[in-house]
Amino acid sequence: MARSKIYILGNQRDAVVAALNHDLRRLSRGKVYQVTLEALREPISDAQRKLWWVWMDILANEVGYLQKEGFYEDSFKDSEILQGRGITDLSKDEMTDLMTMTQHAMADFGYYLPSSHDEYYDGLEAELAARGRRCR
């Protein structure tokens, strides 16, 4: 048997449990093994990623940064949620928390950050594309 194996419990739970039991019975006695169970992390969505970079562009322009990436690095990289990680390292739930926190904090300073359901967002995305600046 392989040194390490991952089993994902989903729709076919019974089949996965049967395979796990089969592999457990094949383990050598006298050796110590570690079994870890953890919730599967759902990565951030494409929509979250696009909206985040639209927000970074809006905020960077408001405070005088030439590039949204510089604003992001200076303002968010060491935040409580990111802790030095990039947004692609976050789960979908962590990204939702970061976006909610950001939206509320910016509202306190009078900045309106659009949601992906706003007509303003669609127009802004098109405007940025026309200027040659993708939403990442």
Per-residue pLDDT tens digits for 36-57: 888 888 899 998 998 999 899 9
pLDDT of residue 49: 92
* Residue 3 in this model has a pLDDT that exceeds 80: no
| Mean per-residue pLDDT of the chain | 83
Please, is 20 exposed, middle or buried when counting C-beta atoms within 10 Å of its C-beta (0-12, 13-18, 19+)? middle
Domain ranges (residues) in the chain: 46-130
- Is the pTM value of this prediction over 0.85? no
Query: What count of Cα atoms within 13 Å lies in the side-chain half-sphere of residue 26?
Result: 9
**Mean pLDDT across 54-83:** 88
DSSP for 44-77? PPHHHHHHHHHHHHHHHHHHT-S-HHHHHHHHTT
CA distances from 4 to 30, 31, 35, 54, 96 (A): 18, 14, 10, 40, 32
Which amino acid is located at 113 in the chain? L
- For 58, phi then psi, to 5°, come to -60, -50
- For 91, phi then psi, to 5°, come to -80, 170
- For 86, phi then psi, to 5°, come to -90, 165
